[in-house]
A and B are shown apart, each in its own frame.
Chain A
Amino acid sequence: MNFGFNDEQELLRSTARKFFENECGSDTVRRLMGTPEGISPDLWTKLAEQGWLGLVYPEAYDGMGLGLVDLVVLMEEMGRAVVPGPYFSAVLLGGLAILEAGGEAQKKEWLPKIAAGDRRVALAWMEPSAQLGPAGVTLSAVEKGGRYTLSGTKLFVHDAHTADALVVAARTRPGAGADGVSLFLLPKGTKGLEVTLLPTMDQTRKLCEVSLSDVSVGADALLGAAGAGWAPLARVLDRATVALCAEMCGGAQKVLDMTVEYAKIRQAFGRPIGSYQGVKHRAADMLVDVENSKSITYYAAWALDEDAAEAPLAVSMAKAYVSDAYRRVAAAGIQLHGGIGFTWEHDLHLYFKRAKGSEFTFGDATHHRERVAQLVNL
């Protein structure tokens, strides 16, 4: 047993840390989050040059062929720097959906371009009901004469406004189960497809509403077989959930680091505030939250890489734990900084807002605890 990272992974970590310190410091994050795109072509190109846009894609599609444990390292560093932009949506949601569900031709067409930074694909699966699971997919795709007509609304779609194409989950057979959920790949500009950027609390992460009114596509727009889209989608979501947990771990670690540094230098009543147990003990609790978050996230990533039977359970344990932990850590970080931590100028709010948004992405702790209860047959 070895529950640690290997030398290559440690090298990836130090490379990524230096990269984001140089290329995506706080000034850059703030500048980019204020733009509708949330990313600059320059930064996106540099991410592609590092090979990170194709990190988890097989080499056959110009990827690096690495696993989730490797991805965890990169995601932690991205979370540490609250990197804005569509990495998550394009590489892990849209890209992985094509990898998991798509046919060979679709994979060959899209994945090398995503890895090169030339194309981005978003994933539209949630709807205004905000219901997770197959029952939440109600957008209809009616087949007639070999063509499908899609109508309905998708919500909470990451970066649809800057994507070159959308993967849309729709129902080709009525019902609430997994059976009958199909995935369609729709290029930007498809007639009847409308994308609206929504104002978000976490400005580093862009969310859209996508409405489809009588969008007509051929069967060649299907990703995989009709009606069989839920299983690959679930695999994408499990992977993206663990990647998100890793990003949250990195953010939480950064909040802890900032807080500890501040507690060492900030004086009150003639002593550093970190010498007071009221501060010290809360910082200790933050450390426990951060370390535990990493442990369960690393394990979940390993379980997915190994295709272990308990991988879905590990994923839900991770998301349940980390959702609560990052929220607690970010809140404690603001509290221990005092007034300065509440200012726009200080970076803490970027992490606090990212923690809140991430908490409700792919299901919050309550949702995943219930999934754990089901998976362990409570």
Chain B
Amino acid sequence: MDFTLTPEQESFRGEVRAWLSKQMRQDWVARLSRGSDIPRPEAYDLLRRWQRQMYEAGFVGLTWPKEAGGRGLTFMEEMILQQEMALAKAPPVLNILAIGMAGPTIIAYGTDEQKKRYPPKMLSCEEIWCQGYSEPNAGSDLASLQTRAVKDGDAYVINGQKVWTSLAHIADYMMLLARTDPSAPKHKGITYFLLDMKSPGVTVKPLKQMTGDAEFNEVYFDNVRVPASQILGGLDNGWAVGLTTLMYERLALGFGLQVRLRIALDGLVDMARATKKNGIPVTQDPVMRQKLAQLWIDTEVFKYTGARAITKLLKGELPGPEASAGKMMWVEGHQRVQELAMEIQGAFSQLTHGSAWAVADGLWQHTFLRSRANSIEGGTTEIQRNIIGERVLGLPKG
């Protein structure tokens, strides 16, 4: 057991830290330090430029192989990068669905042509990706998806609908799961397509969320033609390919989530210090101290459970279903941070952006509302518990 870094890793940390201290935009630091860890729609342009800057400095796709445009480093460097970004309160990478999911899946399953064509533009943020998995009648039960892909010459014709599609309104490509063989059992007969979002017949309709923002969308396919060369990982093999993506999703999230939780917690502690109740700062109230300390502990525990998972990865083991536990922990921790933020604000928690009385210009109200989605997006907490129960503990399926 050893938590120390090698001299190379220390030097990498120094490289990241020096770069961030020079490049970080101070308006972002101020904003994120107040707890907003979620990019809002109006921030997309800024985030696109930020990822481009990070890419040019060589800080995107650290673990990707060099031939895919990455640096061929280990998960340790990725973890160091994420930690430093948290310390600097740096904005997240915008093209996260590409970097975290689509890219690794293409690198694992793609043809030489696909591997050459797509990953580099993911890293540079020239092409943004979204994930076409969920449908109105296929969420947790993803395998019952109904979007159809019918062969027509050397192309497939897509008809159907996706929903809750984050970034679809600015995306250039979609990881699309569609049914190619309706007569096969539901987990078979699904194919993974790389869909150009500018194809005729694709319609994106923003969905307004309970926050008032429209981060995600409905996507309609009306006779959309996709060349057969855009299939990833073989015809009717989409379930296996799609699961690989989800595995990487939880892995990528695992690194990022720990950082985001830390940022949110630091913001919460700052707010608690600055807030007085009954004449004393909230941080001196014994009940509040207990709650804040518990969140502090949970955030650290999350970090070390993550470190154990990374140790497994470094030993060459694949990311396993344990990642589901990490996702669940983050959800629980983050929702409690947001709940506590409201509790600390008390009556003021009712006031939002636009009121001079609102705390931090209503930022916390937004992140509080947004946090309700955490236990639904990326696999509901109920599904994560099923995965842990069945695939880690070996309990029988229901």
A43 and B7 alpha carbons, distance in the complex (Å): 47
**Known contacts A281-B382, A378-B283; is A370 also within 8 Å of B293 by CB?**
yes
Task: Assess the A2–B311 pair: CB atoms within 8 A.
Answer: yes
- What chain B residues lie within 8 Å of A291 (beta carbons)? 305, 308, 322, 325
Inter-chain contact A280/B389, CB cutoff 8 Å: yes
Interface residues of A in 188-235 (CB under 8 A from B): none
- Report the Cα distance A1→B1, complex, angstroms: 8
B304 A264 Cβ-Cβ under 8 A: no
B390 at the interface (CB under 8 A from A): yes
Interfacial residues of chain B within 1-33, with CB under 8 A of chain A in the complex: 1-5, 9
A372 to B290 alpha-carbon distance, docked (Å): 9
Q: Judging by beta carbons under 8 Å apart, are A284 and B389 in contact?
A: yes
Question: Per a CB cutoff under 8 Å, which of A2, A296, A366 touches B304?
Answer: A296
Contact residues in B for A6 (Cβ distance below 8 Å): 1
Across the interface, name the chain A residue whose C-beta is closest to B3: A1
B388 at the interface (CB under 8 A from A): yes
Known A281-B382, A372-B297, A376-B296; contact A3-B398, beta-carbon cutoff 8 A: no
Set of chain B residues within 8 Å of A61, measured between Cβ atoms: none
**Which residue of the partner chain, among A260, A276, A288, A378, contacts B293 with CB atoms under 8 Å?**
A378
Question: Which residue among A276, A280, A296, A306 has the maximum number of chain B CB atoms within 10 Å of its CB?
Answer: A280
Assuming the contacts A3-B307, A3-B311, asked whether A296 and B301 have C-beta atoms less than 8 A apart, the reply is: yes
Given contacts A291-B325, A296-B300, A302-B3, contact A1 B293 (CB under 8 A): no
Range, interface on chain A = 35 or more
The residue on B at minimum CB distance from A280 is B389
Residues of B within 8 A of A321 (CB): 297-298, 301
Decide if B310 touches A1 in the complex (CB within 8 Å): yes
CA distance A150 to B294 in the complex (A): 40
Contact of A292 with B301 at beta-carbon distance under 8 Å, contacts A3-B308, A263-B395 already known: yes
Report whether B385 and A317 are in contact in the complex, using a CB–CB cutoff of 8 Å.
no
* A264-B389 in contact (CB<8A): no
B328 within 8 Å of A (CB atoms)? yes
A378 to B289, CA, bound (A): 7
A260 to B7, CA, bound (A): 44
A264 in contact with B329 (CB, 8 Å): no
Chain B 383-398 interface mask (CB, 8 Å, partner A; 1/0): 0111011101111111
Q: Mark A276-301, 1 if CB is under 8 A from B, else 0.
A: 11011101110110011011101101
Tell me if A78 counts as interface (CB < 8 A to partner B). no
Q: In whole angstroms, how far apart are the Cα atoms of A128 and B169 in the complex?
A: 67
A288-B388, A302-B3 given as contacts; is B393 within 8 A of A277 (CB)? no
- The reply to whether A1 and B398 form a contact with Cβ atoms under 8 Å apart is no
* A288-342 interface with B by 8 A CB criterion: 288, 291-292, 294-296, 298-299, 301-302, 306, 317, 320-321
In angstroms, how far is the closest chain A Cβ from the Cβ of B389? Answer: 4
Residues of chain B contacted by A298 (CB below 8 angstroms): 1, 304, 308
Return chain B residues, CB-CB under 8 Å to A294: 308
Identify the closest chain A residue to B315 (Cβ).
A4
Chain B residues positioned under 8 Å from A35 (CB to CB): none
Closest residue of chain B to A372 (Cβ to Cβ) is B293
Q: Residues of B contacting A271 with CB < 8 Å? A: 396
Whether a CB of chain A sits under 8 angstroms from the CB of B292 is yes
Q: Is B297 touching A369 in the complex (CB atoms < 8 A)?
A: yes
Which 7 pairs of residues, A with B, have the shortest CB-CB distance?
A280-B389, A274-B395, A284-B388, A295-B304, A369-B293, A284-B385, A281-B385
Known contacts A275-B398, A277-B382; 13 further A-B pairs (Cβ under 8 A): A1-B311, A272-B396, A274-B389, A277-B386, A281-B386, A284-B392, A298-B1, A302-B3, A306-B3, A376-B296, A378-B269, A378-B283, A378-B289
Q: Could you write out 13 A-B pairs with CB less than 8 Å apart?
A: A1-B4, A2-B311, A260-B394, A274-B389, A280-B398, A284-B385, A287-B325, A295-B304, A306-B3, A321-B301, A369-B289, A369-B297, A378-B292
